Amino acid sequence: MLQLGVNIDHVATLRQARYRGLDHGEPCPVEAAKIALEAGAHGITAHLREDRRHIVDADVRALRAVVTTRFNFEMANAPEIVEIAIELKPDIVCLVPEKREELTTEGGLDVWGQFEAIKSTAKRMRDAGVDVSLFIDPDRSQIEAAAKTGAQFIELHTGPFADAFRADGAGKSEVDRLANAAILANALGLNVNAGHGLNLTNLRAIFEVPYLQELNIGHSIVSRAVFVGLEQAVKEMLELMAEYPDA
């Protein structure tokens, strides 16, 4: 079964628009996580950025206490955040690139370019009992590098697919890239997740990508929740994901 990890960063973004720098505020991302899990989500994803622009330290500590399924901690490979992850012991960390000026993650990790640093962090996480995923573009060289770091998972960056789908209503060339990447990753022993820009309109198009285990989706679910509520938004996504063919 294709699983859903609900990214709650955008709930925190809404809170910080009014309450940044304060120790209270609404909406609460932890309460959002509880609602998503009660609606059937398989896990919760949160990204603690170095600049704390949305999720903050108190959020991830509270999430670790309430998420009893799968807590996916997105993070840059930065010393301060690595130490927090080691202390926190989420179920899995997903290493992502991070730039201060970007609104959201814009591309995959350059695993070859940061190979030794990523390999070292992956070992520390595994030694602490934490699974490791790398957020990468569907590029052969990056997948091969990921397999050599000791990470157990990759998360394929579906942003270019989402952009292509919006432009032509199919995104076929990007679907093919994702499918080929998933096939290679599986052959190299990597588990395959995916995420970025996925929504109710484009999701069926990536059902051609084999070996997918989990989709991490945030913005479209939170956006849909404005109109139908978070519980319904999660259920709608799960209903559509149930159409994904078993490998």
- What pLDDT is stored for residue 170 in this prediction? 80
Checking if the pLDDT of 105 tops 80, the result is no
Mean pLDDT value across residues 32-58? 97
How many other CB atoms are there within 10 angstroms of residue 149's CB atom?
A: 23
- What pLDDT is stored for residue 160 in this prediction? 96
Checking if the pLDDT of 127 tops 80, the result is yes
Q: Give the span between the Cα atoms of 242 and 187, in whole angstroms.
A: 25
Q: What are phi and psi of 172, to 5 degrees?
A: -60, -45
Q: Give the span between the Cα atoms of 241 and 67, in whole angstroms.
A: 21
- In the chain, the domains with their CATH numbers are 74-241 (3.20.20.70)
Checking if the pLDDT of 103 tops 90, the result is no
Amino acid at 3: Q
**Digit-coded pLDDT (tens) for 145-157:** 999 999 999 999 9
Q: Give the span between the Cα atoms of 162 and 213, in whole angstroms.
A: 19
Both tokens assigned to 108:
């995959």
- What pLDDT is stored for residue 225 in this prediction? 98
Indicate if the alpha-carbon torsion angle 24, 220, 49, 38 is positive or negative. Answer: positive
Catalytically active residues are 47, 74, 196
- What pLDDT is stored for residue 23 in this prediction? 86
Mean pLDDT value across residues 32-48? 98
How many other CB atoms are there within 10 angstroms of residue 112's CB atom?
A: 14
Checking if the pLDDT of 89 tops 90, the result is yes
- What pLDDT is stored for residue 107 in this prediction? 79
- What pLDDT is stored for residue 77 in this prediction? 96
Cα→Cα distances 86→10, 173, 229, Å? 24, 39, 34
Contacts of 34 (CB under 8 A, 6+ apart): 66
Q: Give the span between the Cα atoms of 109 and 106, in whole angstroms.
A: 10
